[in-house]
Chains A and B, each alone.
Chain A
């Protein structure tokens, strides 16, 4: 089946630095990808919809300047957490949509810890 690769799986960084997370669709083209955030023992919250070749659409309350999303190709979307702070520590998961037939595939997630 289709696979979505997310990298890195775990990252620890210092406060104030930026971190980039990659989401790749390995065997299909994904014009649309999605980024979610999950706090410990809580549900997944949709952050933004990443569209290939255009600007991402952010959910209400998500800071677009804080969470930069780039979808430069049909197989890659990146989420950059800029000037990370401890409150940004979370589990970030991406998903990719395969068109015709409609299918969704999730990455394995990235655990971000900001010290």
Chain B
């Protein structure tokens, strides 16, 4: 069965520090992988996605993620965090092809940024 694990429920970093949010998945085949960000009471904004090709994916707001097949991981990184990055981050996996859109989400990581 498919599942997504985000082991860190809450992470606190200082502004300007680097960030890495972990994501591991269990899936029958190579899935599509996504990172979304959610501000309180808001919908989801796509940060980046991996479908195929280069395993290092660049996203918006200076985020990047690396797909490591051998580790079933898709960790999100940012070299220098800004206070506006404080939010909830969700990793998600989905099937390829006609069932794209049926996403399975991790439980999320709440990011707090200290000034």
Contact = CB atoms under 8 A, between A and B. Distances in A.
A23 B46 CA distance: 18
Interface residues of A, number: 22
Contacts of A54: none
A11 to B, nearest CB: 13
B102 A108 contact: no
> What is the size category of the interface that chain B forms with chain A?
10 to 19
A115 B51 CA distance: 43
Contacts of B103: 34, 44, 46, 95, 104
Interface in A35-93: 36, 42-46, 49, 91, 93
A97 B43 contact: no
Interface stretch (B12-20, B22-30, B63-71, B105-113): B105-113
Interface of A: 6, 32-34, 36, 42-46, 49, 91, 93, 95, 97, 102, 104, 106-109, 111
Given A33-B101, A46-B102, 4 more contacts: A36-B105, A44-B44, A45-B105, A109-B41
Interface of B: 36, 41-46, 51, 90, 100-108
